[in-house]
Amino acid sequence: MLERQGPLPGWMRTAILAADPHAPAALTAALEARDGVLDALAHVPVPVLLLAGERDPGLPAIQDTADQTLRATFVEPPGCGHFDTFPRIDLTLPIVLPFLDRCVDG
């Protein structure tokens, strides 16, 4: 289930496999039960930051969600897949920190 979005980075695979043996099954069940979450974002009245790497298989759906979300900011980090943005703070911090500053400033 998890690798439908692309291959897991080694660090993530190691962490998942080292966790409680029931954790991967619970995570899979939670991910499968999340239908409607992206639709619900369209009604969130606060700023929303959506990141999807240019190689993320979910990119079109995330872009559509951003287009339909009242106060969304959408950014497509270059060269990233679905899981690659987590360890790429060189790409994500310059996106996230100014977004948070704008949220605080109002």
Co-location of 86 and 48 in the same domain: yes
| pLDDT values of the chain reduced to their tens digit, one per residue, 106 residues | 555 656 777 777 787 777 777 876 777 777 677 777 767 877 888 999 999 989 888 889 889 889 988 899 999 999 888 777 878 899 999 999 999 999 998 6
Task: State in Å, rounded, how far the first CA of the chain is from the last one.
Answer: 39
| CA–CA separation, 42 and 40 (whole Å) | 5
Co-location of 23 and 45 in the same domain: no
Co-location of 57 and 74 in the same domain: yes
Co-location of 12 and 42 in the same domain: no
Co-location of 1 and 48 in the same domain: no
Neighbours of 38 (CB within 10 A): 17
Co-location of 89 and 75 in the same domain: yes
Co-location of 68 and 41 in the same domain: yes
3-state SS of 31-79 is HHCCCCHHHHHCCCCCCEEEECCCCCCCHHHHHHHHHHCCCEEEECCCC
The two tokens of residue 51 are 């990141």
Domain that holds residue 68: 37-106
Co-location of 62 and 89 in the same domain: yes
